[in-house]
Structure 1
Amino acid sequence: MTNFAIKVKDLSFGWDKNSFVLQSCSLEVPEGEFWMLLGTNGSGKSTLLRLMTRLLTPQVGTIAMSSPVGFVFQNPDLQLVMPTVGADIAFGLVSEGLSPIEVRKRVQKALSAVNLLELERRPIYALSGGQKQRIAIAGAIARHCRVLLLDEPTALLDVNTQLELVIQVQQLVKSQGITALWVTHRLEELNYCDGAFLLENGKVIEKGDPRHLKVRLGLETSP
Structure 2
Amino acid sequence: MTSSSNNTFSHIPAIEVENLNFSWSPTAPVIQSCSLQVPQKEFWMLLGTNGSGKSTLLRLLVGLLNPDSGTIKVRQPVGFVFQNPDHQLVMPTVAADIAFGLVAEKLSTVQVRERVREALAAVNLLELERRPIYALSGGQKQRIAIAGAIARHCEVLLFDEPTALLDPDTQLELVVQVQRLVKSRGLTALWVTHRLDELDYCDGAFLLENGQVVDQGNPQILKQKIMQSETNC
Pick the TM interval, shorter chain: over 0.9
What secondary structure sits across from 1:171 in the alignment?
A: helix
Using the alignment, how far apart are the partners of 2:196 and 2:223 within structure 1? 8
What secondary structure sits across from 2:71 in the alignment?
A: strand
Superposition deviation, residue 191 in structure 1: 0.4
What secondary structure sits across from 1:218 in the alignment?
A: helix
The amino acid of 2:104's aligned partner reads S
What secondary structure sits across from 2:208 in the alignment?
A: strand
The amino acid of 2:26's aligned partner reads K
Counterpart for residue 50 of structure 1? 59
Using the alignment, how far apart are the partners of 2:211 and 2:193 within structure 1? 15
> What pairs with 1:207-218 in structure 2 (closer than 5 Å)?
207-218=216-227
Using the size of structure 1 for normalisation, the TM-score is 0.97
Q: Choose which of 179, 185, 199 in structure 2 pairs with 1:176.
A: 185
The amino acid of 2:12's aligned partner reads N
Is 1:188 paired with 2:197? yes
After superposition, the C-alpha distances for 1:121-149 in whole angstroms (9 at most, x for unaligned) are 00000000000000000000000000000
Q: Choose which of 201, 204, 210 in structure 2 pairs with 1:201.
A: 210
> What pairs with 1:74-93 in structure 2 (closer than 5 Å)?
74-93=83-102
Which 4+ stretches in 1 moved above 4 angstroms? none
**Gaps spanning 5+ residues in structure 1: where?**
none
Superposition deviation, residue 19 in structure 1: 1.6
Is 1:127 paired with 2:136? yes
After superposition, the C-alpha distances for 1:150-187 in whole angstroms (9 at most, x for unaligned) are 00000000000000000000000001111000000011
Counterpart for residue 157 of structure 2? 148
Using the size of structure 2 for normalisation, the TM-score is 0.93
What secondary structure sits across from 1:133 in the alignment?
A: helix
Name which of structure 1's ranges 210-219 and 83-92 shifts more when overlaid on structure 2.
Answer: 210-219
Is 1:97 paired with 2:114? no
Using the alignment, how far apart are the partners of 1:59 and 1:107 within structure 2? 38
Using the alignment, how far apart are the partners of 2:177 and 2:224 within structure 1? 26
Q: Percent same amino acid at aligned positions?
A: 72
What secondary structure sits across from 1:199 in the alignment?
A: strand
The amino acid of 1:217's aligned partner reads I
Using the alignment, how far apart are the partners of 1:110 and 1:5 within structure 2? 21
Q: Number of residue pairs matched?
A: 220
Superposition deviation, residue 65 in structure 1: 0.8
The amino acid of 2:123's aligned partner reads V
What secondary structure sits across from 1:58 in the alignment?
A: coil
